Amino acid sequence: MPNARTKPACGCPVAAFQKIISGKYKLRIVWDLKDGPLRYSEIRSGLLRGIEGTGEIAPRVLSRELKALAENGLIDRKDFGVVPPKVEYRLTAKGRSFVPVIAAIRDWGSAHLGGHVRQAQAA
Amino acid sequence: MPNARTKPACGCPVAAFQKIISGKYKLRIVWDLKDGPLRYSEIRSGLLRGIEGTGEIAPRVLSRELKALAENGLIDRKDFGVVPPKVEYRLTAKGRSFVPVIAAIRDWGSAHLGGHVRQAQAA
DNA sequence: CAGCATCCTGCGTGATACTG
DNA sequence: CAGTATCACGCAGGATGCTG
């Protein structure tokens, strides 16, 4: 497509975004994956950081979010086909392009919603 | 922030963000409000742009989102106390600071989720 | 280890009706 | 016009148990 149409017409992309990241863990999963591929249980335990007495995450839930993320092309599932099972999830290019957006969210959140997270960088 | 909590970077702000913008219309409302104050019904009709056959938005739903947004300090409700009723909603400073984040979302969405930022007409 | 199958519950969302 | 009240429903999300 030639020429950038900077025409804020409708909120469609926002709605689409909402749909894609609907779910409690999707954003966090993508965020955690930004540092490299992770296995199922690594994602799971990573998700538990920062959650106090909420109990565990139902495998069914995590599984579903992972699948949805994969279907939306944000992450890629790599099954090593070994036993015991080993599966890795990694960001796709699309998923990586999404990281800055989450960074913006995180940044805003830490600035306006309690701010108990250190800045990621120094200016 | 007096006490050095300095918890390591967790997904907390992201989770908080998720909570605040939970709801189908919150992001769109804030986005629509970025151009200036709007009245209840203006928001309502503005929300309908880009939604095809989804039907109307239940006043109860919109009302709740507005209230939640106000309680989270993103928007401000201004009741003119006249009859017929006139109420305006406008972004607070916090809400305005949130607009760039939505812009990032929108930007990413239009780049990776179809890219039809322009109207769905005049293909 | 990485899931899937099943059941259950709360709440977000929508529709309809009513009011100041 | 700008809501509130009430009812109903689907689905996200959690708990538990099982499997390859």
List the single protein residue with the shortest CA to C1' distance from C14: B58
Q: Whole-angstrom Cα distance, residue B71 to residue A78?
A: 43
Are B104 and A104 contacting, i.e. CB atoms less than 8 angstroms apart? yes
CA distance B83 to A53: 49
Residue B55's region, left for phi above 0, alpha for psi from -120 to 50, else beta, is: left
Q: Nearest CA to CA, how far is B104 from chain A (Å)?
A: 6
The answer to whether A14 and B24 have CB atoms below 8 angstroms apart is no
- Find the residue in A nearest to B32 (Cα): A11
pLDDT at A2: 42
pLDDT tens digits along A56-111: 899 999 999 999 999 999 999 999 999 999 999 999 999 999 999 999 999 999 99
Q: Does at least one atom of strand D sit less than 7 Å from the CB of B86?
A: yes
**Of B108, B100, B99, nearest in space to A18 by CA:** B108
**Of the candidates B35, B38, B117, which has an alpha carbon nearest to the alpha carbon of residue A11?**
B117
Mean pLDDT of chain B: 85
Does the pLDDT at position A19 exceed 70? yes
Which nucleotide, over all strands, has the C1' atom closest to the CA of B89? D2
